[in-house]
Amino acid sequence: MKDLKGKVAVITGAASGFGRELAILCAGEGMQLVLADIDDKNLPGTVALLPPGAQSISVKCDVSKAESVDELAKQTYAKFGKAHLLFNNAGVSPVGPAWSATLADWQWTLGVNLMGVVHGIRSFVPRMLEQKDECHVVNTASVAGLISVPGSSVYCVTKHSVVTLSECLHYDLQLYKASVGVSVLCPAFVNTGIKDSDRNRPAELAGTNPLGKPFEQLMRKAVESGRISATDVARITLEGVKAGRFYILTHPKIKNSIEMRLQDILQDRVPTNMVPGPA
């Protein structure tokens, strides 16, 4: 999708981090925006950063709920009549060993990171297919969807799922000769609100991993020392969409770790851990 001007972008997780920066860049391209987040208090903060004259609506949406994402689609089509570029971007990141991750950790994270993307696809892709014009879906996974990271089993499960879901979606759309493209965004650590993702955790899914603390500190440090910014990620993502790239890797050095994982599999080795755990 080379020309974005006048088209409609829908962004989940638009109140912070990558979502906010994508909104600013998409508005700069002359797109109309649908900004969605469970944290509707911080959506006006995104709107305030858009260039003057940008057209947007803000919608409170919990991506883990199918009916909430369907309502987002209804509001999008009621306001703008179309959706061209969907960013299934909202995400959360609990940490801690696999055996002590709580059921609430699993339900919350699978709900937002995986089912959020599933709901986005189910609510928007059929409508995009009816539109019959050029559309594109960007699913935010992570390098944690391409390698396995100690202390991040719940997160990695969701992100590996988003990678394969995106690949399957791409194949399916090709089979149907659809004019809907797909990309999967796989960043490494970037300093965003992800280090405090518990802030939007619903009360009914409270109860974090009792062994999570040392991993939380490690993740905070890794995120805060991220070498590229959320603005860089948004820029690389839009460049990827325009160039028709499927895998959008924002941190090229991580390819060594991906290759190591694939070689471990192909050479029948036990997995080589390239990411340090807590001391």
3-class state of residue 44 by DSSP: helix
Binding mask 237-266 for ligand NAD (x = CB under 6 A): ------------------------------
Strand partners, 59: 36
Closest CB to ligand NAD among residues 135, 154: 154
Q: Is 152 in the site for ligand NAD (CB under 6 A)?
A: no
235 vs 209: CA distance, rounded Å = 34
DSSP 3-state percent helix, strand, coil across the chain (nearest 5): 50, 15, 35
Residue 34's Cβ-side half-sphere holds a number of Cα atoms within 13 Å equal to 29
Nearest to 52 by CA among 29, 35, 19, 27: 27
Residues 117-146 that bind ligand NAD (CB under 6 A): 140, 142
Q: Counting runs of H as helices and runs of E as strands, what totals does the chain give?
A: 9, 7
Residues 195-214 that bind ligand NAD (CB under 6 A): 197, 200
Task: Give the number of other Cβ atoms within 10 Å of residue 177's Cβ.
Answer: 6
Question: For ligand NAD, which stretch binds (CB under 6 A), given 56-64, 163-171, 240-248, 263-271?
Answer: 56-64
Quick one: how far is CA 161 from the chain centroid? 12
Q: Which of 27, 33, 190, 241 binds ligand NAD (CB under 6 A)?
A: 190
Closest CB to ligand NAD among residues 124, 189: 189
Q: Which of 9, 17, 95, 115 binds ligand NAD (CB under 6 A)?
A: 17
Q: Is 151 in the site for ligand NAD (CB under 6 A)?
A: no
115 vs 118: CA distance, rounded Å = 5
Query: Residue 94 Cβ, how far from ligand NAD at the closest point, in Å?
Result: 11
Q: Which of 13, 94, 151, 240 binds ligand NAD (CB under 6 A)?
A: 13
Q: Which of 1, 31, 35, 37 binds ligand NAD (CB under 6 A)?
A: 37
Active site residue 176: no
3-class state of residue 174 by DSSP: helix
C-alpha distances out from residue 161 to 37, 110, 152, 182, 268, Å: 22, 10, 14, 15, 23
Catalytic residues: 155
Residues that bind ligand NAD (CB under 6 A): 12-13, 15-19, 37-39, 61-64, 89-93, 112, 140, 142, 187, 189-190, 192-194, 197, 200, 223, 226
